[in-house]
Amino acid sequence: MFFKKKDRGIREAGWDRTLITGVVGMVYFAPVFWIILNAFKTRQDGLATPPKLFFTPSMDNFFNVFYRITDAGDHVATGMGLYFFNSIFAAGAGVLLALVIGTLAAYGFSRYPLRGNDTYLFVILTTRMLPPIVVIIPIFLMFRVTGLSGSYIGIILLYAMFNLAFSVWMMKSFFDELSTDVEDAARLDGINEIKVFFKICIPQLTAGLAATAVFALILTWNEFLFALLLTGNDTRTVPVAMARAMGGQLGVDYGLLSAIITLFLIPVFVVTYMLQNHLLRGVTFGTVKK
């Protein structure tokens, strides 16, 4: 799916190698496949041994994700809709913020290097070297003191910070690849520095921006620990809600969990699919001889 372009001079693999690759791929995909199938099974089908490949699909689990039926027979919302919105909003806004700040910073690091530029970049990278569990206590205390704990702005800022190091490094490497002659040519054509950035550099980097956004989104979308400790009832994200759904009095409801996970997969899949052309297209290819 990701590499449609045929490189001339490189031969396609034969059936034998393609088959081996396919089998290995299936091994990796098997858990995902099991989860998606499980989401459509009733409780009995889901727990059957050996697992059933053929069964009558049911949408009950998906219904249960969003509604609970009380003893009186009323439908009560579970709040999962809100949690999905929270996940999308927190990850989306956090990544967007990280991308905006990260791209500007990367442009600065690439085009206007400071004395000791590499040291600064290294320091930025170190913010991602510590495992989250180590920094969570000071961050938790800071959030308590500032009142950011449990608010949207808090988790969005945290996710922006969480992705900043990565976006700066990624975007800097993309900026470094661009020919500065092109920017100089634009300056000669009479445009100012702001336009050089927006009209010359950024349009050449849509592929880089898309790649950075996808990686950051996937990381943030799956983030659990910060969300567990720093979101409140109203700002809870799906991974946290998922963990809560696991511990019921009647044991783990695998069908319900699978349905949540299946729904949880969709946004990442859609975003990656939409950006796949950007991820592939080398817009700058062949215009500058080096």
Contact segment (CB under 8 A) with another protein among 112-120, 138-146, 187-195, 236-244 equals: 187-195
Angle (nearest 5°) at CA 154 between 137 and 213: 105
Question: What is the separation of C-alpha 93 from the centre of its chain, rounded to a whole number of angstroms?
Answer: 12
Contact segment (CB under 8 A) with another protein among 70-78, 166-174, 175-183, 260-268 equals: 175-183
Please state the closest distance from residue 186 (CB atom) to another protein, in A.
7
| Per-residue tokens: 208 | 């880089």
Residue found by looking up tokens 């470094």 in the block: 176
Please state the closest distance from residue 185 (CB atom) to another protein, in A.
4
Q: Is 185 an interacting residue with respect to another protein (CB under 8 A)?
A: yes
Q: Is 194 an interacting residue with respect to another protein (CB under 8 A)?
A: no
Question: What is the separation of C-alpha 233 from the centre of its chain, rounded to a whole number of angstroms?
Answer: 23
Q: Is 285 an interacting residue with respect to another protein (CB under 8 A)?
A: yes
Q: Is 179 an interacting residue with respect to another protein (CB under 8 A)?
A: yes
Among 121, 165, 170, 200, binds another protein (CB under 8 A): 200
Q: Is 189 an interacting residue with respect to another protein (CB under 8 A)?
A: yes
3-state secondary structure the chain: CCCCCCCCCCCCCCHHHHHHHHHHHHHHHHHHHHHHHHHCCCHHHHHCCCCCCCCCCCCHHHHHHHEEECCCCCEEECCHHHHHHHHHHHHHHHHHHHHHHHHHHHHHHHHCCCCCHHHHHHHHHHCCCCCHHHHHHHHHHHHHHHCCCCCHHHHHHHHHHHHHHHHHHHHHHHHHHCCHHHHHHHHHCCCCHHHHHHHHHHHHCHHHHHHHHHHHHHHHHCCCHHHHHHCCCCCCCHHHHHHHHHCCCCCCCHHHHHHHHHHHHHHHHHHHHHHHHHHHCCCCCCCCCC
- Nearer to another protein (CB atom), residue 17 or residue 187: 187
Contact segment (CB under 8 A) with another protein among 45-53, 72-80, 161-169, 278-286 equals: 278-286
Please state the closest distance from residue 116 (CB atom) to another protein, in A.
15
Q: Is 24 an interacting residue with respect to another protein (CB under 8 A)?
A: no
Q: Is 9 an interacting residue with respect to another protein (CB under 8 A)?
A: no
Q: Is 204 an interacting residue with respect to another protein (CB under 8 A)?
A: yes
Contact segment (CB under 8 A) with another protein among 31-39, 47-55, 136-144, 196-204 equals: 196-204
- Nearer to another protein (CB atom), residue 50 or residue 190: 190
Q: Is 188 an interacting residue with respect to another protein (CB under 8 A)?
A: yes
Q: Is 182 an interacting residue with respect to another protein (CB under 8 A)?
A: yes
Please state the closest distance from residue 170 (CB atom) to another protein, in A.
19
Please state the closest distance from residue 257 (CB atom) to another protein, in A.
45
Please state the closest distance from residue 278 (CB atom) to another protein, in A.
12
How many angstroms separate the first and last alpha carbons of the chain? 31
Task: Catalog residues that contact another protein under the rule CB under 8 A.
Answer: 179, 181-182, 184-191, 200, 203-204, 283-290
